[in-house]
Amino acid sequence: MSEESTTSDLVELTRRSFESLRRRDLDALMRVYDDDSVFDMSPAGLGSFQGVASIRGFFEDFIAPYEEWEIEPEEILYLGNGVVFAVVLQKGRPAGGPGDIQMHHANVLIWVNGVIARVMHYNDIDQARAAAERLAEERAQADA
Asked whether residue 4 carries a pLDDT value surpassing 60, the answer given is: no
Would you state the pLDDT for residue 99? 86
Sorted by where each starts, the structural domains of the chain and their CATH numbers stand as: 3-143 (3.10.450.50)
Angle at CA of residue 41, ends 68 and 78, nearest 5°: 90
- Tens of pLDDT, residues 18-62: 999 999 999 999 999 999 999 999 988 889 999 999 999 999 999
Minimal CA–CA distance to 109: which of 130, 140, 79?
A: 79
- Tens of pLDDT, residues 89-143: 999 999 988 889 999 999 999 999 999 999 999 999 999 999 999 999 999 999 8
Would you state the pLDDT for residue 7? 57
